[in-house]
C-alpha cells in the first residue's frame, strides 16, 4: 500500500493491507481444504453472505467518492494552472505522460494477455460473488450514453460514463464562479469526499473479514487454481508499471536531453527509497537529491517535484486500465475499440481524483469506474485489492522515476536542442 499518498483524513485509519493479504491466502487454503467435504455446504452458507455484504459496502462508496474527488481534483488543477507559466507547463507535461500511459495499456495489455494467457482455472478462481457483466452499448448508443437525461437515474444504474461527463462539466463550471461561491462549492465536495473516505476506511478496515469470506468461496470452487491465477495477475499488471518506469528513461533522454546512464545513476537512490518505503512522499528528499545530481535548477525541482507528488501518479492510467482489461478477459467479455477507448479516457480522468490516497483506496476509486465504463464486472476487484500491496511496489518505483524525468523535462529550456 502506498503510504506516500495518504490523505490527511486517513492518517489515523490503519488500513490492514498485510492482514488482508494473509486473510486471502488463509481463506483460499481453507476453502481448498474443505472442497468436496460435507462441511463445504454449511461453510459456504455462512461465508457467502458475509463476503457479499462486505463487497456491497465497498461498491456503495464508489460513485459519491469519485464525484467528490473529481470535482475537488479538477478545481485544484485549475487553480494550479493559474499560478504561472511553469505551473501550466508542468500540468501539460503531466497530462501528456498520463495520456501516453493510457494509450500504452490499451495497446499492449490485450497483446500481453494473448501472449501469456490467463490460466484456465482463473475464471472460477477470481470471480467473487455472482459477478455479472454490465451491458455494453453499440457505437451509436455509446455516444448517446455520454449524456444522461437524468443524472440520478444514471447514478442508480451505475452508468459511469455519463456521471463522469456530468461531474467534469460541473467541476469546470464551478471554477468559473465568483471566488466566494467557488470556494464554497469546492469545500462542499472536499468535505463530501473526506466523509466518503472515512466510510471506505471503515470498510477496508474490515477487509480481512470480507476477503477471508470471499476467499473461502473461491477456494471451494477452484481449489488451488486461485494461487496460480493471482500470481499471473500480479506479474502481468506489474509489467505495465515496469514499462512506464522504462519509459521514464526515454523521457529523460529524448525530452529532457539527459544521458540515460547519468539519469540511471542519479535516480537510483530515489528508487531505493521508493522500494523500501512504498511512498512517493517519503522519497521526495531523495528525488530532490536526484535532481541536483542531474543539474536541474533548484527553483524548478522545488516547484515541480512537490506538485508531482501531490497530483501525479504516472503509472495509474496504465496499470488501472490493465486491471480492467484483465478482468474483462477473465470474465470472457469481448472489448471493442470503443469500450477500450472509454476505459482509457476514464482511467485518465479518474487519475485526477485518485492521487493523495492510499493504494487500497485509490485501487477501488480508480478501477471501479473504469470497469463500469467498459461494461466489466467489478466483483473480482474485491479479491484483487487484497494483493494490491504487491503491484503497488511497482507503482511507487515507477511514479518516482517518472517524477524525476518529468522534472528534468520541465527544466529544459524551450530553445535547448
Mean pLDDT calculated for residue range 277-288? 90
Specify the higher pLDDT residue, 94 or 18.
Answer: 94
pLDDT of 94 above 60: yes
**pLDDT tens-digit readout, 261-270:** 999 999 999 9
Q: What is the mean pLDDT of the chain?
A: 86
Q: Among 170-174, 272-276, 344-348, 362-366, which stretch is predicted with the lowest mean pLDDT?
A: 362-366
Please name which of 103, 345, 77, 51 lies closest in space to residue 216, comparing C-alpha atoms.
51
C-alpha to C-alpha distance for 265 and 295, rounded to whole angstroms = 13
pLDDT for the residue 15: 59
Please name which of 71, 304, 82 lies closest in space to residue 192, comparing C-alpha atoms.
71
pLDDT of 307 above 90: no
Q: Write a three-state SS string for 297-308.
A: CHHHHHHHHHHH
**pLDDT tens-digit readout, 167-186:** 999 999 999 999 999 999 99
Mean pLDDT calculated for residue range 304-319? 91
pLDDT for the residue 355: 55
pLDDT of 9 above 60: no
pLDDT for the residue 412: 87
pLDDT for the residue 10: 47
pLDDT for the residue 12: 47
pLDDT of 130 above 80: no
pLDDT for the residue 278: 84
Angle between helices 316-330 and 337-354 (to 10 degrees): 140
Structural domains in the chain, sorted by start: 21-411 (1.10.3860)
Q: What pLDDT band is residue 323 in, cutting at 50, 70 and 90?
A: very high
Mean pLDDT calculated for residue range 37-64? 91
Q: Among 25-34, 103-112, 261-270, 357-366, which stretch is predicted with the lowest mean pLDDT?
A: 357-366
Phi/psi region, residue 132 (left: phi>0; alpha: psi -120 to 50; beta: rest), is: beta
C-alpha to C-alpha distance for 409 and 122, rounded to whole angstroms = 42
Please name which of 320, 322, 325, 288 lies closest in space to residue 305, comparing C-alpha atoms.
288
Mean pLDDT calculated for residue range 312-328? 94
Residue 87 · residue 80 · CB < 8 Å: yes
Residue 342: partners with Cβ closer than 8 Å, 6 or more residues away: 142, 161, 373, 374
Q: What pLDDT band is residue 413 in, cutting at 50, 70 and 90?
A: low
Mean pLDDT calculated for residue range 356-384? 82
Percent helix / strand / coil, the chain, rounded to 5 = 75, 0, 25
pLDDT for the residue 11: 45
C-alpha to C-alpha distance for 126 and 115, rounded to whole angstroms = 20
pLDDT of 129 above 70: no
Phi/psi region, residue 223 (left: phi>0; alpha: psi -120 to 50; beta: rest), is: left
pLDDT of 353 above 90: no
Q: What pLDDT band is residue 6 in, cutting at 50, 70 and 90?
A: very low
Q: What pLDDT band is residue 288 in, cutting at 50, 70 and 90?
A: very high
SS3 (DSSP) at 133: coil
pLDDT of 92 above 60: yes
The model's pTM: 0.86
pLDDT of 7 above 50: no
pLDDT of 8 above 50: no
Mean pLDDT calculated for residue range 227-240? 92
Residue 298: partners with Cβ closer than 8 Å, 6 or more residues away: 292
Q: What pLDDT band is residue 143 in, cutting at 50, 70 and 90?
A: confident
**Residue written as cell 477471508?**
212
pLDDT of 356 above 70: no
pLDDT for the residue 26: 94
pLDDT for the residue 174: 96
pLDDT for the residue 3: 40
Amino acid at each position: 500500500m502506498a503510504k506516500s499518498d495518504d490523505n490527511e483524513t486517513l492518517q489515523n485509519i490503519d488500513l490492514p493491507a498485510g492482514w488482508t493479504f494473509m486473510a486471502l491466502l488463509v481463506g483460499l487454503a481453507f476453502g481448498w481444504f474443505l472442497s468436496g467435504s460435507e462441511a463445504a455446504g454449511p461453510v459456504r452458507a455462512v461465508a457467502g453472505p458475509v463476503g457479499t455484504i462486505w463487497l456491497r459496502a465497498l461498491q456503495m462508496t464508489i460513485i459519491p467518492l469519485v464525484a467528490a474527488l473529481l470535482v475537488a481534483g479538477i478545481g485544484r488543477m485549475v487553480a494550479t494552472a493559474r499560478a504561472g507559466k511553469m505551473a501550466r507547463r508542468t500540468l501539460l507535461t503531466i497530462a501528456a505522460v498520463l495520456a501516453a500511459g493510457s494509450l500504452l495499456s490499451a495497446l499492449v495489455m490485450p497483446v500481453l494477455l494473448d501472449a501469456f494467457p490467463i490460466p484456465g482455472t482463473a475464471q472460477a478462481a477470481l470471480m467473487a460473488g455472482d459477478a455479472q457483466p454490465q451491458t455494453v452499448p453499440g457505437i451509436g448508443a455509446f455516444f448517446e450514453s455520454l449524456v444522461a437525461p437524468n443524472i440520478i437515474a444514471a447514478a442508480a444504474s451505475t452508468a459511469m460514463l455519463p456521471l463522469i461527463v456530468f461531474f467534469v462539466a460541473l467541476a469546470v463550471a464551478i471554477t468559473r464562479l465568483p471566488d466566494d461561491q467557488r470556494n464554497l462549492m469546492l469545500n462542499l465536495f472536499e468535505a463530501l469526499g473526506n466523509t466518503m473516505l472515512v466510510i471506505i476506511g471503515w470498510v477496508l478496515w474490515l477487509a480481512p473479514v470480507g476477503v477471508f469470506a470471499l476467499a473461502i468461496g473461491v477456494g471451494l470452487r477452484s481449489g488451488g487454481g486461485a494461487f496460480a491465477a493471482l500470481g499471473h495477475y500480479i506479474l502481468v499488471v506489474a509489467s505495465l508499471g515496469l514499462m512506464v518506469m522504462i519509459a521514464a528513461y526515454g523521457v529523460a533522454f529524448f525530452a529532457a536531453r539527459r544521458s540515460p546512464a547519468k539519469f540511471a545513476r542519479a535516480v537510483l537512490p530515489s528508487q531505493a527509497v521508493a522500494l523500501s518505503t512504498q511512498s512517493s512522499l517519503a522519497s521526495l528528499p531523495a528525488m530532490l537529491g536526484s535532481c541536483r545530481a542531474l543539474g536541474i535548477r533548484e527553483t524548478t525541482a522545488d516547484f515541480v517535484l512537490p506538485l508531482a507528488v501531490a497530483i501525479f501518479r504516472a503509472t495509474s492510467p496504465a496499470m488501472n486500465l490493465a486491471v480492467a482489461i484483465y478482468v474483462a478477459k477473465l470474465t470472457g467479455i469481448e472489448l471493442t475499440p470503443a469500450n477500450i477507448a472509454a476505459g482509457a479516457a476514464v482511467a485518465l480522468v479518474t487519475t485526477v481524483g485518485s492521487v493523495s490516497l492510499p493504494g487500497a483506496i485509490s485501487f477501488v476509486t480508480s478501477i471501479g469506474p473504469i470497469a463500469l465504463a467498459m461494461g466489466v464486472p467489478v466483483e473480482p476487484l474485491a479479491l484483487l485489492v487484497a494483493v494490491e500491496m504487491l503491484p503497488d511496489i511497482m507503482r511507487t518505483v515507477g511514479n518516482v522515476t517518472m517524477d524525476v524525468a518529468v522534472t528534468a523535462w520541465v527544466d529544459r529550456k524551450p530553445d535547448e536542442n
